[in-house]
Amino acid sequence: MIPLEKVREIISRHKTLEKELSSDQIDKKKFAKISKEYSDLNEILVYAKQYIDFDNNKLELEKIINDSVNDFEIINLAKSELGELVKNKDINEKKLKLFLLPKDEADAKNAIIEIRAGTGGLEASLFAADLFKMYEKISNKKNWILEIISISKSDAGGLKEVIATIKGKNIYSSLKFESGVHRVQRVPDTETQGRVHTSAATVAVLPEAEEVDVKIEEKDLRIDVFRSSGPGGQSVNTTDSAVRITHIPTGIVVSQQDEKSQIRNKEKGLKILRSRIFELERQKRDQARSLDRKNKIGTGDRSERIRTYNFPQGRVTDHRVNLTLHKLDEFMEGEIFDEIVESLSLHSQELELKNLE
């Protein structure tokens, strides 16, 4: 049951914003923010009004049923309307509950994605490369902009590690459930006896933090410079352009050496550092809000096995929602990514709703 005061607040807030938007004196910077809130309230307003009117409408229909003693046509019509009214109340209540759920402030942000080869040697690095290609294809299909921040390659076209930014609309909300261990089961090209091997790669998705989100003090940083090195330790640059940044309060360390310029490496390193600090603070707040973390769908633990890609059987399984799709090739091409995202989002909302009850 949603308290009626909360629903009335939605209707009242909508009226207030409507007046502000019709005023000639509204500040331009404030206009965009208010317009967004007004648009969101507009979508839920009809459900809020129906929810408020439920008791009165129910009483009216029950009165008609009780007063129309011999008019069976009117009685049946009123009973039918009453059934629809009760059914709609449940729908309205669910929609209002979803609307009133605490909003994740990071959902609208761009994302930083980090992919690293896990257990499995060369095969793990090849799978890390396959995952990165998959996210590239998803980005292309959705007109997102993917930019590599740093990349470390291995033999045979594999990746030891890749860090990239993905920019667009509500990126973090689309990708936040990708964090965790991705496991692959397939026959490696080097396997002569056709045995299936299991290896893994880890994915971490962080909301891209702006300078206004995280204030980093120079005194809290230790910055070391060194020469960039390639495979086997060979020197790439003859100058100390690589940068290692340590955030002393949190112990977070970021190294960056892809650029020939020390300044550019420092900029990229700070971008990653800022997002990692931002995510660390978010996790602390989440833990403070919810003592029972088991009720939350995994969105950040890199040690949590979230998905298995079984190539011999052509299936992909997401273990958090027990969803199996026998369309692995399509999934790796970025074709049906939304199916899993929608299932995970719905599951997350259901858990949030249970926590409200």
pLDDT > 90: what percent of the chain?
58
CATH of the domain at 115: 3.30.70.1660
CATH of the domain at 226: 3.30.160.20
Domain co-membership, 207 together with 178? yes
Eight-state DSSP code of residue 227: -
Domain co-membership, 130 together with 271? no
Q: What is the DSSP string of 278-304?
A: HHHHHHHHHHHH-S-GGGS--SS-TTS
Domain co-membership, 39 together with 89? yes
Q: Which residue has the higher pLDDT, 17 or 32?
A: 17
Q: 31 is in which domain, residue-wise?
A: 4-100
Position 223 in a domain: yes
Domain co-membership, 163 together with 254? no
- Structurally, the chain folds into a number of domains equal to 3
Domain co-membership, 73 together with 185? no
Position 106 in a domain: no
Instruction: Note the pLDDT of residue 146.
Output: 97
Domain co-membership, 208 together with 300? yes
Q: What is the pLDDT of residues 173-219, one digit of tens each?
A: 999 999 999 999 999 877 778 889 999 999 999 999 888 788 899 99
Instruction: Note the pLDDT of residue 295.
Output: 43
Q: What is the pLDDT of residues 287-334, one digit of tens each?
A: 665 544 344 444 444 567 999 999 999 999 999 999 999 999 999 999
Position 105 in a domain: no
Domain co-membership, 15 together with 152? no
Angle, in degrees to the nearest 10, between helices 28-67 and 72-100: 150
Domain's final residue, options 46, 68, 100: 100
Domain's final residue, options 286, 314, 340: 286
Cβ neighbours of residue 234 closer than 8 Å, sequence gap 6 or more: none
Eight-state DSSP code of residue 143: T
Eight-state DSSP code of residue 241: -
* Phi, psi (deg, nearest 5) at residue 15: -65, -40
Domain co-membership, 62 together with 180? no
What band does 238 get if pLDDT is binned at 50, 70 and 90? low
